[in-house]
Amino acid sequence: MSETRFDPSQADGRWQRAWNDAQCFRADDSSTKPRAYVLEMFPYPSGRIHIGHVRNYTMGDVLARYKAMTGHEVLHPMGWDAFGMPAENAAIEKGVHPGAWTYQNIANMKAQLQRLGFALDWSREVATCDPSYYGHEQALFLDLYAGGLVYRKESAVNWDPVDQTVLANEQVIDGRGWRSGALVEKRKLSQWFLKITDFAQELLDGLGSLEHWPEKVKLMQENWIGKSQGLQFAFTLSDGEKLEVYTTRPDTIFGASFVAVAADHPVAQKVAAENADAQAFIEKCREGGTTAAELETAEKLGFDTGLTAKHPFTGADLPLYIANFVLMDYGTGAIMAVPGHDQRDFDFATKYGLPITRVVAPSAADADKPFAGEAEAGDGVCVNSGFLDGMSVADAKASVIARAEGEGWGEGKTVWRLRDWGVSRQRYWGTPIPFIHCPSCGVVPVPKGQLPVTLPEDVDMSIPGNPLVRHPTWKHVDCPACGGAAERETDTLDTFVDSSWYFLRFASQPADRPFDPEEVARWMPVQQYIGGIEHAILHLLYARFWTRALKAIGKLDVAEPFAQLFTQGMVTHETYSREEDGRPVYFSPGEIERGAEGAVLKDDGKPVEIGRVIKMSKSKKNVVDPDEIVAKYGADAVRWFMLSDSPPERDLPWSEAGIEGCWRFVQRLWRLFGQYDATATGQDKALDRKVHQTVAAVADDIEALSFNKAVARIYELTSAAEKAAPSASRSNAIRAVLLLASPMMPHLAEEGWAAIGETGLVAEADWPEVDPALLVEDEVTVAVQVKGKLRDTLTVAKGTSKEELEALALASEKVQRALDGAEVRKVIVVPDRLVNLVA
RNA sequence: GCGGGCGUGGCGGAAUGGUAGACGCCGGGGACUUAAAAUCCCCUGGGCAUUGCCCGUGUGGGUUCAAGUCCCACCGCCCGCACCA
């Protein structure tokens, strides 16, 4: 073979065409092989792929290629999460149509992905913004409606009074609209909801079956669903009315020092009707964003209504406040506040000078222990609590609930933090909700025969607000029920709906239905799903819900959509900046010359400050363009970098030195392949052993997605093969290195496969066989410790007896010196591992 | 604020409770070369040092013959919080 270098600029495209010509990555629906559905979260078509996408899709690609090599029929599809706000923003800022912008982006990004050599079945590509996708989504939505899982109710949105537009949470900055700067108001609109709460218990229970999901994600979902058992009971107010409150801490009821309702609570409304100050306070609460984070970090504010509530046990009159930290959406929208044992109540009580009473203490003796400036939410025994004194928190909860139920003023109740899913968006670039509002018939579903309800093309995005509302003709239709003049629903669906079933469409895509349940059942569940941790709750919970909801209405027979989940880390990069006029000015890596000591700007040769390694973002300019690095180093070096060093669940810091190292390794492998000699004879037992151990270990590592470890082992085997003298064993080791590296560096592997005289594609080759007999070492190194400190090591035959190990350890000169005549009192021997002499 | 996670050399990291730092990057030294690039070899946690010894996994405690790993408390950073995707 020639001594020339491997040239990705001509090899990459050649092999990509060869794979395409052979259609190697097309999933065969009729295959009898065991199936493997490998899926990465599909991207939003922003225009350019991000290095984070490259990392995500490289991981899935290695697994998909490995599965194919180990005898599986692989489904590895790709598509586009193509609806959403960025297309509308681009339309406003650049004057392009959201659809044209989106499809252009898809074309660009698809070409970028193809240049990376991913083993994707492009024949199943979907774009959610295409009527051939969202039309089916509309049909599914109608099915869910028929199944009683869709309803309408009033719900608050962020309203920009200047732009006359509904704003997303991310468009509200410090309580103001991002474009207009106007103070945002909360406004109530009638909106569409999906009954995810009907499935709260099932979604919670289902987590137990997800053995191969990260514990942290399951825990986050469990907390999000937020099942709590508590007491709902009624206070009698001083005006004679009843006020229902819910508490998860009935054990602390004797510590209640005030009662509070949300600003939207009917009691607050009633007070405000007669009290201008109360009205003003409620309006103040309506200013600012709607997010939980904002509500909970805002300063606690309250308004004393002058009313009081009678404590059910003590008969005390507790003041009734309207408070900004009470959420109308949770429980009854009203609380009994126990400042000693809830931090929010504590803050509020401190601010308004309300009593803070201890009713739970570490022990009965601590009944009068003062608080250390904060509430104590922990466990303990009840104190200062009448009949509860001395009880544990758990017993007291049960006891109070039993008493309330016996006396008829309250009952034990399960409450969920999970709320129904509001899917209405007052925006153009989304799936039209297939309903018609008729003045005489009310809300009427669009007949399925009239689907898809498509978006109008001729819209003016330069005016704020929803173009579907002001379009001259689009919304005017005849009522499907009575034939009279009616109007289309102008809200579109949350884009999370689009991503809640795309994995089903990948598995089966008939033209006349969303999917065929039997075809889907043959591929589902997704065997390995890979994506960012930022989707741990919403996307993954919504997809689980859709799967269940479709099952509940008989459209699907899958319990959980994703058998195995992996959440990968971000790609990060150091930042380069200079202080100019008191503000940092950032430079991109391309503008910088990076040396050992520091970095200078190429333009002026003067130093710049190297900042922290953070997530790549345009504003900090610490981005690298996948196209540029692929052009410079080839797809394989980039893929190898994505897999090396950092464990895949952690952040990966991009570095120029790192990619250079990968490039050198590509060439090093190429030289090694060049040393392959099919005619070499002779055996190298140690190398054979190393090969089989490495094949087994790399397989385990890939299955566990521990790519960084697989990479390290391939480096080791490469070094061993390089150092070995020519032999049949060595040639076999070179062939093994090629096969092991092939899922990661497929272009180089194909080139090498041909070079060593193999026929066919390595993409369709088999993973090397492992001989279990060669996995075991016959010699081991045993550590010898004295009092837990390493003093010597012994090289002995594997399986050497405890007695012999102890004798060998005591015979060691180093051990005797360390013992220094001291008497050995105890000996711990772990066969094949260590001897510890305790003196 | 609430929920979840992470923290090991100059850097990325490895390590079923059992030899801390595998493997890679950076750096240093050498070989080859007229020279450079490329490649190959050696060294590379810190401190003291004559064989060796001491210290060391964010901080402080604890359990254990033995702790990066288990327990408690704290510090720092990151992710999510329901209309970003």
For residue A596, is pLDDT > 70? no
Asked whether residue A294 carries a pLDDT value surpassing 90, the answer given is: no
Is omega for the bond preceding A525 within 30 degrees of 0, making it cis?
A: yes
Residue with CA nearest to B64's C1' atom? A788
Question: What is the tens place of the pLDDT at every residue in A93-134?
Answer: 889 999 999 999 999 999 999 999 999 999 999 999 999 999
User: Letter for the amino acid at A415?
Assistant: V
Nearest residue, CA→C1' of B18:
A834
Supply φ then ψ for residue A286, to 5 degrees: -80, -15
Pair of tokens at residue A705: 């997605």
Q: Identify nearest nucleotide to residue A713 by CA to C1′ distance.
A: B23
Q: What's the CA–C1' distance between A783 and B14, in Å? A: 19
Between CA A378 and C1' B36 the distance (Å) reads 70
CA distance A185 to A149: 30
Q: What is the model's pLDDT at position A293?
A: 81
Q: How far is the CA of A4 from the C1' of B48 (A)?
A: 51
User: What percentage of residues in chain A have a pLDDT greater than 70?
Assistant: 98
Which nucleotide lies at the shortest CA–C1' distance from A665? B24
Per the structure block, which two tokens stand in for A261?
């309702």
Cα three-residue angle A216-A221-A222, rounded to 5 degrees: 95
Check: complex ipTM more than 0.95? no
| Percent residues over pLDDT 90 in chain A | 66
Residue A5 CA distance to nucleotide B26 C1' (Å): 25
The residue type found at A591 is E
Query: Exposed, middle or buried, A566 (CB in 10 Å: 0-12/13-18/19+)?
Result: buried
| Closest residue to B84 (CA, C1′) | A170
Structure tokens at A112: 């970028």
Taking the CA of residue A226 and the C1' sugar atom of nucleotide B82, their distance in angstroms comes to 13
pLDDT confidence of residue A288? 67
d(CA A837, C1' B58) / Å: 32
| Phi and psi torsions of A153, nearest 5° | -155, 165
DSSP A527: S
Nearest-CA residue to the C1' of B38? A664
State the nucleotide closest to A701 in CA–C1' terms.
B14
Per CA to C1' distance, which residue is closest to B52? Answer: A814
Angle in degrees, CA A194, A198, A201, rounded to 5: 135
Distance between the alpha carbon (CA) of A229 and the C1' atom of B29, Å: 70
Distance A119 CA to B51 C1' (A): 59
Nearest Cα to Cα of residue A257 among A330, A342, A331, A372: A342
Rounded distance between C-alpha atoms, residue A8 and residue A385, angstroms:
77
DSSP β-bridge partners for residue A443 = A437
Q: Which token pair is A307?
A: 């009313």
Distance, CA of A584 to C1' of B44, in Å: 36
> What's the pLDDT tens digit per position in A727-760?
999 999 999 999 999 999 999 999 999 999 999 9
> So what's the pLDDT on residue A64?
97
What six digits make up the tokens of A290? 């709607």
Cis omega (within 30 of 0) for bond into A452: yes
The protein residue nearest B7 (Cα–C1') is A650
pLDDT reported for residue A776: 82
Highest-pLDDT range among A157-171, A179-193, A494-508: A494-508
What is the rounded average pLDDT of the residues A388-417? 92
Look up tokens 């801490």; give the residue: A249
User: How many other CB atoms sit within 10 Å of the CB of residue A557?
Assistant: 12
Give the H or E element holding residue A231.
Answer: strand A227-237
Q: Which of A558, A651, A524 is nearest to A39 (CA)?
A: A524
Q: Which nucleotide is at minimal CA–C1' distance from A423?
A: B83
Specify the nucleotide whose C1' lies closest to residue A661 (CA).
B25
Whole-number Å distance, CA A818 to C1' B51? 14
| Nucleotide of closest approach to A614 (CA, C1') | B78
Q: Are A765 and A794 in contact (CB under 8 A)?
A: no
pLDDT at A582 over 70: no
Of all nucleotides, the one whose C1′ comes closest to residue A344's CA is B1
SS3 A186: strand
Q: Which of A478-487, A615-624, A649-658, A727-736 has the lowest mean pLDDT?
A: A615-624
**Residue lying closest to nucleotide B83, CA to C1':** A168
| Number of Cβ within a 10 Å radius of residue A42 | 24
Write down the pTM of the prediction: 0.92
CB-CB contact of A354 with A348 (8 Å):
yes
Contacts 24+ apart (CB under 8 A), A328-331: A328/A262, A328/A263, A328/A264, A328/A265, A329/A419, A330/A415, A330/A417, A331/A230, A331/A232, A331/A245, A331/A246, A331/A247, A331/A415
Token pair of A693 as six digits: 């151990």
Nucleotide nearest to A81 (CA to C1'): B85
Q: Lowest mean pLDDT: which of A184-198, A239-253, A634-648, A811-825?
A: A811-825
The answer, yes or no, to whether residue A490 has pLDDT greater than 50, is yes
CA-to-C1' span, A309 to B44 (A): 74
Distance CA A149, CA A669 (A): 57
Q: Is the model's pLDDT at A831 over the cut of 90?
A: no
Banded model confidence at residue A787, pLDDT cuts 50, 70, 90: confident
Which bases in strand B are touched by protein, i.e. have an atom under 7 Å from a CB? Answer: 1-6, 11-16, 18-20, 22-27, 38-41, 52-54, 65-67, 78-85
- Closest residue (CA to C1') to nucleotide B80 in the complex: A534
Nucleotide B52 C1' to residue A653 CA (A): 40
Smallest CA–C1' separation from A791: which nucleotide?
B19
Half-sphere exposure of A570 (CA within 13 A, CB side): 11
Closest nucleotide relative to residue A783's CA, C1' based: B19
* Selection from A750, A737, A751, A710 nearest residue A62 by Cα: A710
Is residue A597 predicted with pLDDT exceeding 60? no
Q: Is the pLDDT of residue A605 over 80?
A: no
Report the distance from CA of residue A722 to the C1' of nucleotide B34 in Å, as an integer.
31
Lookup: tokens for A547 = 């799967």
Mind giving me the DSSP string for A454-468? PPPS---TTSSS-HH
- Which nt sits closest to A425, CA to C1'? B83
Higher pLDDT, A745 or A801: A745
What is the pLDDT at residue A2? 44
- For the cut 60, the answer to whether the pLDDT of residue A1 exceeds it is no
Nearest nucleotide, CA A43 to C1': B85
Query: A51-69 vs A626-633: helix axis angle to the nearest 10?
Result: 60
A684 CA → B27 C1’, Å: 36
Q: CA-CA distance, A144 to A325, in Å (whole number)?
A: 35
Q: pLDDT at residue A583 above 70?
A: no
DSSP H/E element including A173: strand A172-173
For chain A, give the mean pLDDT.
91
Give the residue carrying structure tokens 């099942």. A227
Q: Report which residue is nearest nucleotide B6 when distances run from CA to C1'.
A: A650
Distance CA A665, CA A661 (A): 6
Q: What is the dihedral of CA A726, A727, A732, A737, to 10 degrees?
A: -30
What pLDDT score was predicted for residue A652? Answer: 86
Q: In the structure, what pLDDT confidence band is assigned to residue A705 with cuts at 50, 70 and 90?
A: very high
User: Could you tell me the distance in Å between the CA of residue A721 and the C1' of nucleotide B42?
Assistant: 20
3-state SS, residue A783: strand
Give yes or no for a contact between A251 and A393, defined as CB atoms under 8 angstroms apart.
Answer: yes
Band of residue A668 on the pLDDT scale cut at 50, 70, 90: very high
Judged against a pLDDT cut of 80, whether residue A8 lies above it is answered with: yes
- Which residues, 6+ apart, have CB-to-CB distance to A5 below 8 Å? A667, A670
